[in-house]
Amino acid sequence: MNEDTAQPEHNDRSSGLFLRVISAAVLIPPVIGAIYMGSPYFDVLVAVGALILCWEWYSLCRPHIGWLIAGIPYIGAPTYALIYIREAPDKGFETVLWIFLLVWAADTFAYAAGRTFGGPKLAPAISPNKTWSGLAGGVTGAGVVGAITALVLDHNSVIPLVLISAALGALSQGGDLVESWIKRRFGKKDAGSLIPGHGGLFDRVDGLLAAALFVALASIVSSRGGVLTWV
């Protein structure tokens, strides 16, 4: 690659990273605020997000009726899971914030590690840009959030929450791959263009949907309440 070609590519990447940072700086504070305030503010946030996801899913999958119907549980179950977790009587706020933070950390660390280290592709037929180093970075980032959460909540043991957080980080990356496969199935690069530097809302919350659904199901089947109450 000659210098003339490399410079525009470098500028494009720098511009894309700048847009990602600015978008995150604008969107994260109101999201955390809604999580903290709970119902009805968080409920409204989730409902608006679900409507946006439905529109992006419709734009992505039309006119395939089967895929459009599949979007109902794909979007509906995780979005309800977020509300269910937040309304839990014990540590609802802490649990939802933990999920959001670990997914954000997984995405950020995966992006940084993939760009820095590169290496073998994770699933080139599905998402050509994802690498094993990115997955390792994502799992590490989620584990770090788990460790900090355990310390803040004064848990007796840090390791269990680190391991669960790391597993959820891996699961969130799996959710990202599922959405990448769906977009590839319909020949789309992004699910939308709502968020500058990020694409559509689906491109940002695919991992969150997977992690939230798992945590809600774990809370339902457990006889000891929410995840943060028994880890």
pLDDT at 100: 97
Residue 61 · residue 186 · CB < 8 Å: yes
pLDDT at 3: 40
Residue 169 · residue 149 · CB < 8 Å: no
**How far from the centroid of its chain's Cα atoms is residue 102's Cα?**
8
Distance in angstroms (rounded) separating the CA atoms of residues 50 and 205: 11
pLDDT at 135: 96
Beta bridge partners of 121: 131
Number of domains in the chain: 1
pLDDT at 173: 94
pLDDT at 199: 74
pLDDT at 9: 45
- Name the pTM for this structure: 0.89
The total number of residues shown for the chain amounts to 231
Tell me, letter by letter, the H, E, C secondary structure of the chain. Answer: CCHHHHHHHHHHHHHHHHHHHHHHHHHHHHHHHHHHHCCCHHHHHHHHHHHHHHHHHHHHHCCCHHHHHHHHHHHHHHHHHHHHHHCCCCCHHHHHHHHHHHHHHHHHHHHHHHHHHCCCEEECCCEEEEEHHHHHHHHHHHHHHHHHHHHHCCCCCCHHHHHHHHHHHHHHHHHHHHHHHHHHHCCCCCCCCCECCCECHHHHHHHHHHHHHHHHHHHHHCCCCCHHHHC
pLDDT at 29: 94
pLDDT at 195: 65
Q: Phi and psi for 197 in degrees, rounded to 5?
A: 85, -10
pLDDT in tens, the chain (231 residues): 444 434 444 455 555 556 666 767 788 999 999 999 999 999 999 999 999 999 999 999 989 999 999 999 999 999 999 999 999 988 999 999 999 999 999 998 998 899 889 899 999 989 888 999 999 999 999 999 999 999 999 988 899 999 999 999 999 999 999 999 999 899 988 887 676 656 789 988 999 999 999 999 999 888 777 889 877
Place of tokens 């900090």: 148
Distance in angstroms (rounded) separating the CA atoms of residues 119 and 138: 15
Structural domain containing residue 188: 3-230
